[in-house]
Amino acid sequence: MSPPWRTGTASSVSAPNTRPHIRSFVLRQGRVSNAQRRAVETLLPTFGIAYAPALLDLDAAFGRPAPKILEIGFGMGETTAQIALAHPHNDYLGIEVHTPGVGSLLRLIEAHALANVRIIQHDAVEVLNHMIAPGSLSATHVFFPDPWPKKRHHKRRLIQPSLVHTLASRLRPGGYLHLATDWEDYALQMLEVLSAEARLDNTAQGFAARPAYRPLTKFETRGLKLGHRVWDIVFRRRAGDFEG
């Protein structure tokens, strides 16, 4: 029997490209601490959602109707936890492939008694294509994705036209897509790709000021003290666009 939050099969969502995609991540072994491992073993069954090629009923997965915000690549989870703690009226679905980060966020969920966070440990492109229904998200956050700085690796960057097209379709009309990076050439690429998506409108003239809901990370604070920049990009799905 399927869990109550499964609502359909993969055929219920049309993927923009069914060919194997170039992954934007490399699964490294990495060191998983004992505390992170214990969190994955004991907490992931409660706060995790297993990948399956079937649509999610997001309200059932969180146990309530509320705005749903997706975060792709939450790293060690500090930002996700801070935002979820500050906005208990929203539900946050985080996607991350690396076990240390999953374990770290699970520990933060437990420490702060966060009932509004769920985790999928899987490739975000496959999750978007097969599990997230069109028009079901109030927002998507993609903060500091791997910049793949070498030019020959740019094809591995997460933010590509096909993914942005899918992200736009999963947003409800008026929902927003918020990207942030500390690599200028990636920021310019992001801005170009989002500007070319017909369903999205920029909320600023070019780059946006950092919204108050996105906290500064320790890494970002150190970089700003050294004179480094961070670029925020915030686009909204057009309010009159009701097509999935």
Helix (H, G, I), strand (E, B) or coil at 27: coil
User: Has 59 been annotated as catalytic?
Assistant: no
Among positive and negative, which fits the CA dihedral 100, 43, 92, 81? negative
Nearest to 127 by CA among 88, 158, 86: 158
Specify the pairing of strand 137-143 against strand 117-120.
unpaired
Q: How far, in Å, CA of 203 to CA of 118, rounded? A: 28
Angular region, 148: left φ>0, alpha ψ -120 to 50, beta rest:
left
Instruction: Give the tokens for residue 88.
Output: 């208990």
Would you say how long the chain is, in residues? 244
49: left (phi over 0), alpha (psi -120 to 50) or beta: beta
Question: How many CA atoms lie less than 13 Å away from 89 in the CB half-sphere?
Answer: 1
* Pairing between β-strand 137-143 and β-strand 171-181 as defined by DSSP bridges: parallel
Of the residues 57, 59, 123, 146, only one is catalytic, namely 146
| Whole-number Å distance between alpha carbons of 52 and 26 | 21
Instruction: Give the 3-state secondary structure of residue 216.
Output: coil
What is the set of active-site residues? Answer: 146
